[in-house]
Amino acid sequence: MSEQVRIIEMGPRDGLQNEKTPVSMEARIRFIEALVGAGLHTVEVGAFVSPKAVPQMASSDRVLKGVSHITDAEFHVLVPNEKGYEAALIAGARVVSVFASASEGFSRANINCSVAESIERFKPVLARAGADGVKVRAYISCVLGCPFDGEVKPQAVAEVARTLWDLGCYEISLGDTIGVGTPLKAKQLLRAVGGTVPVASLAMHFHDTYGQALANLYAGMEEGVRVIDSAAGGLGGCPYAPGATGNVATEDVVYMLHGMGIRTGIDMEKLLAATNEMSRVLGRPPVSRVASALNAKAKRAAD
Ligand code: HMG
Ligand code: MG
């Protein structure tokens, strides 16, 4: 597997969307600057969703404008519908991400509509984005289990993936929203979805709730997937997915990949500094195992 892997950094969006501690717009912008400085050139920076639903993502327009001076990075934002797309476009978005679910229960809880209705909401977004030259990425949530409906069949995910692909999404990110997957299930899922969408256009977005994310990522890499969503420090969680904790930590992914001789272009020291600064803002240590180990090592060296 001595190749390259593309990491999409989720910290400023998935990472902060469920945080109890308020994070100022300035701190969000500084976090993004530090992440790009560490070599993370694709960063999801916000969400154009209802501020009543997710107050943490309010002012995403100002955050996106606040990082517009950074020219060597691609910034993504979530949009659930045409209203969100309109606002994102005005704020300067060049890549937007729509988000569907493989299960009806989560779709209803998260975006207040059925899976089929969500696809209908995305159609005008895709049409306008095509005309505006804006790229559209897509998420599918609950690909390995749903907090409301339980088991989710790989075929159900494959069908939603095919629909989003046919609509023109350039990449489909598969979300284990509640982190319940295990490696063989991840493999079965990727085989099923890889039968309907090119594997090169799939991404893995695994939350680490049950500590399985790295193992699942490795299993997915064995199936040929080379795009990984992760969040600095292991931040994150969805307010509408009961019990879900953070995304797999970027530090943990980078440590594993570098150990396997796979290039990422990410500077671990600078990444750790970005994580530690956000950790200071939030007032608690990072959950990332690698960040904790490196911080402990630095402390031992300083003592
Ligand atoms: P709705 O109630 O069905 O929408 O919500 P509506 O069209 O009836 O509008 C209701 C209100 O929302 C109205 O305002 C609209 O103007 C407003 P009011 O009249 O009550 O003042 N509204 C909006 N405001 C701002 N931006 C918009 C927008 N659209 C409507 N785009 C809606 C539907 C999707 C808006 C709502 O349910 C919502 O915002 N949900 C939040 C979903 C969310 O952000 N979830 C977390 C991100 S997804 C995730 O974390 C999973 C992922 O990481 C992958 C994984 O891990 O699986 C991606
Ligand atoms: Mg997520």
Give the pLDDT of the chain (303 residues) as one tens digit per residue: 658 999 999 999 999 999 999 999 999 999 999 999 999 999 999 999 999 999 999 999 999 999 999 999 999 999 999 999 999 999 999 999 999 999 999 999 999 999 999 999 999 999 999 999 999 999 999 999 999 999 999 999 999 999 999 999 999 999 999 999 999 999 999 999 999 999 999 999 999 999 999 999 999 999 999 999 999 999 988 889 998 999 999 999 999 999 999 999 999 999 999 999 999 999 999 999 999 999 999 999 999
Task: Give the Cβ contact number of residue 97 at 10 Å.
Answer: 23
Q: H/E element holding 8?
A: strand 6-9
Give the residues across from 98 on adjacent strands. Answer: 138
- As a 3-state breakdown, the chain gives helix, strand, coil percent values, each rounded to 5, of 50, 15, 35
Is residue 139 in some structural domain? yes
Q: Measuring CA to CA, which residue among 76, 80, 78, 46 is closest to residue 61?
A: 46
**Residue 221 within any structural domain of the chain:** yes
Question: DSSP letters along 134-163, please?
Answer: -EEEEEEE-TT-BTTTB---HHHHHHHHHH
238 annotated active-site = yes
Q: What is the CATH number of the domain that holds 242?
A: 3.20.20.70
Is 1 contained in some domain? Answer: no
Residue 11: enclosing H or E segment and its boundaries? none
User: Can you read off the two tokens belonging to residue 36?
Assistant: 């790009």
Residue 216 near residue 226, CB atoms below 8 Å: no
Which pTM was predicted? 0.98
* Domain extent at residue 208: 6-302
Per the domain annotation, does 168 fall within a domain? Answer: yes
Pocket test for ligand 1, best of 13, 49, 86, 144 (most atoms within 8 A of CB): 49
Residue 191 belongs to a domain: yes
- What's the total number of domains in the chain? 1
Q: Is 245 in the pocket of ligand 1 (CB under 6 A)?
A: no
